[in-house]
Chains A and B, each alone.
Chain A
Amino acid sequence: MSTNHDTHDHDDHGHHHKETFVTKYIFSQDHKMIAKQYLVTGTIMGVIGVLMSIMFRMQIAWPEEPNVLFEALLGKWAPDGVMDADIYLALVTIHGTIMVFFVLTAGLSGTFSNLLIPLQIGARDMASGFLNMVSYWLFFLSSVIMIISLFVEAGPAAAGWTIYPPLSAVEMAQGGSGMGMTLWLVSMAIFIASSLLGSLNYIVTVINLRTKGMSMTRLPLTIWAFFVTAIIGVISFPVLLSAALLLIMDRSFGTSFFLSDIFIQGEVLHYQGGSPVLFEHLFWFLGHPEVYIVLLPALGITSEIIATNSRKPIFGYRAMVASILAIAFLSTIVWGHHMFISGMNPFLGSVFTFTTLLIAIPSAVKSFNYITTLWKGNLQFNPAMLFSIGLVSTFITGGLTGIILGDSALDINVHDTYFVVAHFHLVMGISALYGMFAGIYHWYPKMFGRMLNKNLGYMHFWITAICAYGVFFPMHFIGMAGLPRRYYTNSNFPLFDDLSDVNVIITVFAIIGGIAQIIFLYNFFASMYFGKKATQNPWKSNTLEWTTPVEHIHGNWPGEIPHVHRWAYDYSKPGHDVDFVPQDVPLKEGEEELQH
């Protein structure tokens, strides 16, 4: 704990004697700087991930046509500008890996858990600043290794982001399963270590370092979400690590955990007795909770932003906390719905259908509570608010189709088609991305002391919102027409010829949506230097982070840490002149705290 910073006065932070460039900007142990490091790294990874998706979307829309972009970016993988089938699969694989883990796990949780946990619970810093720093640098290292894997001679990992063996285990099965897959596994193992260090830190900080008066029932929903996310991460990520390690053993040390009876390219391999289904179980034991690791922080951020910008308390605080907990619990017992047709016992299919559809209940409660929070509000459409409402919209649209995919009888026919792609992109991809954008727009003043340009923000939101639906809504229909995902081209199936126009439309929306992100990038980087100086509490918010000075200081508060006297959602409370009452304002005489 950083009690040693307590003595630092606000005035002397500029000429802090111990801080050098390296300790301040590179090997920083300050949670605010680490948050920014996560954000910038995540953003860079995001740009790469989105660029990849645009490339493979172009290939799907205009199959095997030469493209200058391919020629410039893919080099030997696009002879004469025509994308190679192997690199297509590699792009799909790395796009998924980067977006799920590097952007929406590390970029989202890493940024906002680090930034907000100490600030919103009233702590000087994370429980362990050193572990926090190590966590970021492990993440950085894993990002670098993942990027390096793109330049491997035989190509990067190309077995899909789920890297099911034997495809990922046997080098003869696919070029990308050689050095590319080794680097993928090493990168992910380091990533998991980073994620675990981060999560442990978040949990310990939330439990131990809350300021006086910050009881668990007064915690902002953001913190609840980050806290529970960290717990899910600690429970499930180690299982993926075990899967990755066992896969490394199978690949390099001759074991047979996941492999058995393989005949490939005229050769019988020695593996015997293992089962790929075991890998699927291990993978999805993380893989499904991972969806909520990505989504819950976004929902937490949204809860905070919707309440602040509606100038209303979040509706049903207790139910919101309960549904976060319910989702977290259920998320660990539904993984089998990814495996209905994997060859596991059909009875298990029934069990997982049951648990899976139960998740719809807390999700429905959350959606309705968001909508009710808007009701009779005084909505301030700051860009963060737009992205939050956008999140609720895509969360509903994407979530509803989960009712079909979670139903084993229906899953048989749409499993691994574009219907699945549309579903999870809307419900976790776009929703979580919106949550991340919302968070950036909302807390940018806290992170960089300057404001983002709102008009660019509006442009960014509306173009992105239209393109997101333009890409993923029609995609349900090509899925329901039976088109499998991860096909390099559909030209060998005349059956799907009448879907080629939909694919072109989807790609055009994807390209426009991708280009629209330049508006954001520009706003993001330019505002660091040219943005309007932020005031201390620009959104008139109740939470504690807005009681800290705009200029960052070690230890967050120049004097004593504020004490908390109320929950975070006293917006427009009767009996007060202003429409917000920050958490550190004592109750007036005779004022009652809401029982929640």
Chain B
Amino acid sequence: MTTFLTILVVLFVLVAVWQMMKIFDLAQIGAPESQIATDKDNRMNGYLMIGFLIFIYAITIVCFVKWGDLPLLSNSASEHGPQVDNLMIISLVLIFIVQTITQFLLHYFAFKYKGEKGKKALFYADNNTLEAIWTIIPVIVLAGLIIYGLFTWNEIMNVDKDEDPLVVELYAQQFNWKARYAGDDNVLGMANVRLIDIDRANILGLDESDPNAQDDVITTELHLPVGRPVLFKMRSQDVLHSAYMPHFRAQMNCVPGMITQFSFTPTITTSEMRQNPDIVTKVENINNIRVENSKALVAKGEDALEPYEFDYLLLCNKICGKSHYNMQMKIIVETQEEYDAWIKEQTVFANAITK
């Protein structure tokens, strides 16, 4: 059947090509210069240029209206988040202005100066003042952006040890995440993948002889107390991964053979975020979509989709193999008391390992 269909399709294509060939032949009748733009072509394409300008503006407006709430550019949940968002918004506004003006000039000039027989273009080859202007303006604007950007970057990447950050290891492997808390001493025990012993539950390769490792806690969910700086130490056991926590404007690659780091302070607990009107609307919208999608699934005899509830997420954002698309970990930001209660329930490494 497939073969038959394929032959049929090929046959149709051949007929279509033959037909087009004939049209093509007919189109070739005319003067030798017939394939060079005429005044009529210039007029048509001139108007199309204006049409295209309108199209660019329209698609910009539609995108901003429909998808421009930019859920991950507002309602950041970390201390440095608003600063990043601010810089992002300034950059976006700037881009928007330049884009609107330059696209207008480009397409409007294309329309305005569309060719006509007998018209002569202006011989205008150089103007140093003009060129100086459009060299210097970008220099000034970019200097501002660079300085703002660098201050923000330094502030984000600078880890202040005096603030006594909570030290947490993010451990990546194909295709899941683990978190390791440093325990009461807030110092992570030494570890190396060569020490991994799956049978004895030493899954992250901790050095059993290191006293600092004894109180470490390994979990599959990331709990963070609100308002306390967290210093993440990233490690990977196999390939490159990237720990992407978009709600916190945080991301760092996990590199086998080395330890990378990133630090931020969560400012809004998960339950507070769930109450945020923007998030409520977004979740509602998503759940409506899920209900719609479920109908189709149920009709096919499959299970309906679970309703969505907002959670912070850690995603893998560096291609890492087959199941890269499903490498995630839930992040729960909670009050210090809730966090203390949760961490107390976890088993420390010394007790988890089989002797």
Report A's interface with B, CB cutoff 8 A.
71-72, 85-86, 89, 159-160, 164-167, 170, 173-175, 259-264, 266, 268, 273-277, 310-319, 341-343, 346, 349-350, 353-354, 357-358, 360-361, 364-365, 367-372, 374-382, 385-386, 389, 392-393, 396-397, 400-401, 403-404, 407-410, 412-413, 415-417, 451-456, 458, 462, 465-466, 469-470, 473-474, 476-478, 480-482, 484, 486-490, 492-495, 497-500, 502, 522, 526, 530-533, 535, 538-539, 569, 571-574, 579, 594, 596
Candidate in A268, A396, A494 with the most chain B CB atoms within 10 angstroms: A494
Q: Across the interface, which residues of B come within 8 angstroms of A499, CB to CB?
A: 67
Give min CB distance, A350 to chain B, whole Å: 5
Q: Is the CB of A353 within 8 A of B149?
A: yes
Q: Is the CB of B257 within 8 A of A275?
A: yes
B46-81 contact mask (Cβ, 8 Å, vs A): 1 or 0: 101100100110011001001110111100000000
Q: Chain A: which residue is nearest B116 at the CB level?
A: A378
Q: Is the CB of B24 within 8 A of A526?
A: yes
Give min CB distance, B119 to chain A, whole Å: 5
Q: Is the CB of B109 within 8 A of A374?
A: yes
Give min CB distance, A193 to chain B, whole Å: 28
B192-213 contact mask (Cβ, 8 Å, vs A): 1 or 0: 1110101000000100000000
Docked Cα-Cα span, A490 to B238, in Å, equals 24
Q: Across the interface, which residues of B come within 8 angstroms of A495, CB to CB?
A: 286, 308, 313
Tally of contact residues, B, Cβ under 8 A? 129
Q: Is the CB of B63 within 8 A of A473?
A: yes
The answer to the question of B186 belonging to the interface, with a C-beta cut-off of 8 Å to chain A, is: no
Q: Is the CB of B153 within 8 A of A353?
A: yes
Docked Cα-Cα span, A343 to B170, in Å, equals 14
Q: Is the CB of B239 within 8 A of A166?
A: yes
The answer to the question of B322 belonging to the interface, with a C-beta cut-off of 8 Å to chain A, is: yes
Q: Is the CB of B48 within 8 A of A462?
A: yes
Other-chain residue from B35, B52, B127, B290 in contact with A497 (beta carbon distance below 8 A)? B290
Q: Is the CB of B156 within 8 A of A412?
A: yes
Q: Across the interface, which residues of B come within 8 angstroms of A409, CB to CB?
A: 84, 87, 149-150, 152-153, 156
Q: Across the interface, which residues of A come within 8 angstroms of B55, CB to CB?
A: 466, 469
Q: Is the CB of B24 within 8 A of A453?
A: yes
Q: What is the predominant secondary structure among interface residues of chain B facing chain A?
A: helix
Give min CB distance, A259 to chain B, whole Å: 7
Q: Chain B: which residue is nearest A84 at the CB level?
A: B322
Q: Is the CB of B308 within 8 A of A263?
A: no
Q: Is the CB of B253 within 8 A of A343?
A: yes
Q: Is the CB of B46 within 8 A of A381?
A: yes
Docked Cα-Cα span, A170 to B253, in Å, equals 19
Q: Is the CB of B102 within 8 A of A396?
A: yes
A-B pairs with beta carbons under 8 Å apart, 10 shown: A358-B142, A361-B135, A364-B138, A367-B102, A413-B72, A458-B41, A482-B246, A490-B325, A572-B120, A572-B122
Other-chain residue from B120, B126, B145 in contact with A315 (beta carbon distance below 8 A)? B126
Q: Is the CB of A72 within 8 A of B45?
A: no
Docked Cα-Cα span, A269 to B257, in Å, equals 12
B 296-314 contacts with A by CB, 8 A? 305-306, 308, 313
Docked Cα-Cα span, A72 to B6, in Å, equals 9
Other-chain residue from B28, B87, B153, B192 in contact with A531 (beta carbon distance below 8 A)? B28
Give min CB distance, A499 to chain B, whole Å: 8
Other-chain residue from B88, B98, B109 in contact with A371 (beta carbon distance below 8 A)? B109
Given contacts A342-B255, A354-B150, A374-B109, contact A268 B193 (CB under 8 A): yes
Give min CB distance, B278 to chain A, whole Å: 13
B 78-115 contacts with A by CB, 8 A? 84, 87-88, 91-92, 94-95, 98-99, 102-103, 105-107, 109-110, 113-115
Q: Across the interface, which residues of A come within 8 angstroms of B95, CB to CB?
A: 400-401, 403-404
Other-chain residue from A346, A369, A571, A579 in contact with B131 (beta carbon distance below 8 A)? A369
Q: Across the interface, which residues of A come within 8 angstroms of B124, CB to CB?
A: 312-313, 315, 372, 375-376
Given contacts A266-B198, A535-B33, contact A454 B123 (CB under 8 A): no
Q: Across the interface, which residues of A come within 8 angstroms of B131, CB to CB?
A: 316, 319, 365, 368-369
Q: Is the CB of A354 within 8 A of B286?
A: no
Q: Is the CB of A261 within 8 A of B59?
A: no
Docked Cα-Cα span, A22 to B52, in Å, equals 47
Give min CB distance, B13 to chain A, whole Å: 10
Docked Cα-Cα span, A361 to B253, in Å, equals 30
Docked Cα-Cα span, A498 to B17, in Å, equals 41
Docked Cα-Cα span, A502 to B193, in Å, equals 42
Give min CB distance, A302 to chain B, whole Å: 12
Q: Chain B: which residue is nearest A314 at the CB level?
A: B125
Q: Across the interface, which residues of B come within 8 angstroms of A408, CB to CB?
A: 149-150, 153
Docked Cα-Cα span, A455 to B123, in Å, equals 30
The answer to the question of B14 belonging to the interface, with a C-beta cut-off of 8 Å to chain A, is: no
Q: Is the CB of A381 within 8 A of B115?
A: yes
Q: Is the CB of B325 within 8 A of A263?
A: no
Given contacts A374-B110, A413-B249, contact A454 B41 (CB under 8 A): yes
Q: Is the CB of A313 within 8 A of B321?
A: no
Q: Is the CB of A276 within 8 A of B255?
A: yes
Extra A-B contacts (18), CB below 8 Å, given A263-B237, A314-B125, A469-B56:
A159-B319, A164-B319, A167-B240, A170-B239, A173-B238, A261-B192, A262-B257, A313-B125, A341-B242, A341-B252, A378-B119, A407-B91, A410-B149, A413-B251, A415-B251, A452-B35, A470-B59, A486-B319
Q: Across the interface, which residues of B come within 8 angstroms of A473, CB to CB?
A: 59-60, 63
Q: Chain A: which residue is nearest B320 at the CB level?
A: A167
Number of A-B contacts (CB under 8 A): 401
Given contacts A313-B123, A473-B60, A538-B36, contact A341 B253 (CB under 8 A): yes
Other-chain residue from B84, B127, B138, B258 in contact with A343 (beta carbon distance below 8 A)? B258
Docked Cα-Cα span, A260 to B72, in Å, equals 35
Q: Is the CB of A574 within 8 A of B123?
A: yes
The answer to the question of B130 belonging to the interface, with a C-beta cut-off of 8 Å to chain A, is: yes
Give min CB distance, B246 to chain A, whole Å: 4
The answer to the question of B351 belonging to the interface, with a C-beta cut-off of 8 Å to chain A, is: no
Give min CB distance, B123 to chain A, whole Å: 5
Q: Is the CB of A481 within 8 A of B36?
A: no
Give min CB distance, A38 to chain B, whole Å: 24
The answer to the question of B250 belonging to the interface, with a C-beta cut-off of 8 Å to chain A, is: yes
The answer to the question of B317 belonging to the interface, with a C-beta cut-off of 8 Å to chain A, is: yes
The answer to the question of B280 belonging to the interface, with a C-beta cut-off of 8 Å to chain A, is: no
Other-chain residue from B46, B126, B246, B321 in contact with A413 (beta carbon distance below 8 A)? B246
Other-chain residue from B174, B242, B305 in contact with A264 (beta carbon distance below 8 A)? B174
The answer to the question of B274 belonging to the interface, with a C-beta cut-off of 8 Å to chain A, is: no
The answer to the question of B244 belonging to the interface, with a C-beta cut-off of 8 Å to chain A, is: yes
The answer to the question of B190 belonging to the interface, with a C-beta cut-off of 8 Å to chain A, is: no
Candidate in B88, B122, B205, B325 with the most chain A CB atoms within 10 angstroms: B325
Give min CB distance, A344 to chain B, whole Å: 9
Q: Is the CB of B21 within 8 A of A412?
A: no
Q: Is the CB of A465 within 8 A of B242?
A: no
Docked Cα-Cα span, A594 to B21, in Å, equals 48
Given contacts A341-B253, A404-B91, A455-B27, contact A315 B125 (CB under 8 A): yes
Given contacts A353-B149, A386-B45, contact A261 B193 (CB under 8 A): yes
Other-chain residue from A263, A316, A469 in contact with B126 (beta carbon distance below 8 A)? A316
The answer to the question of B341 belonging to the interface, with a C-beta cut-off of 8 Å to chain A, is: no
Q: Across the interface, which residues of A come within 8 angstroms of B354, CB to CB?
A: none
Q: Which 8 A-B pairs have the closest CB atoms?
A: A260-B257, A381-B45, A346-B157, A343-B260, A451-B35, A263-B193, A482-B246, A494-B308
Other-chain residue from B59, B121, B320 in contact with A311 (beta carbon distance below 8 A)? B121
Docked Cα-Cα span, A584 to B68, in Å, equals 55
Q: Is the CB of B123 within 8 A of A573?
A: yes
Docked Cα-Cα span, A357 to B144, in Å, equals 11
Q: Is the CB of A85 within 8 A of B323?
A: yes
Q: Across the interface, which residues of A come within 8 angstroms of B205, CB to CB?
A: 263
The answer to the question of B25 belonging to the interface, with a C-beta cut-off of 8 Å to chain A, is: yes
Docked Cα-Cα span, A401 to B196, in Å, equals 44
Docked Cα-Cα span, A392 to B2, in Å, equals 45
Docked Cα-Cα span, A291 to B326, in Å, equals 31
Give min CB distance, B156 to chain A, whole Å: 6
Q: Across the interface, which residues of A come within 8 angstroms of B66, CB to CB?
A: 502
Docked Cα-Cα span, A89 to B319, in Å, equals 9
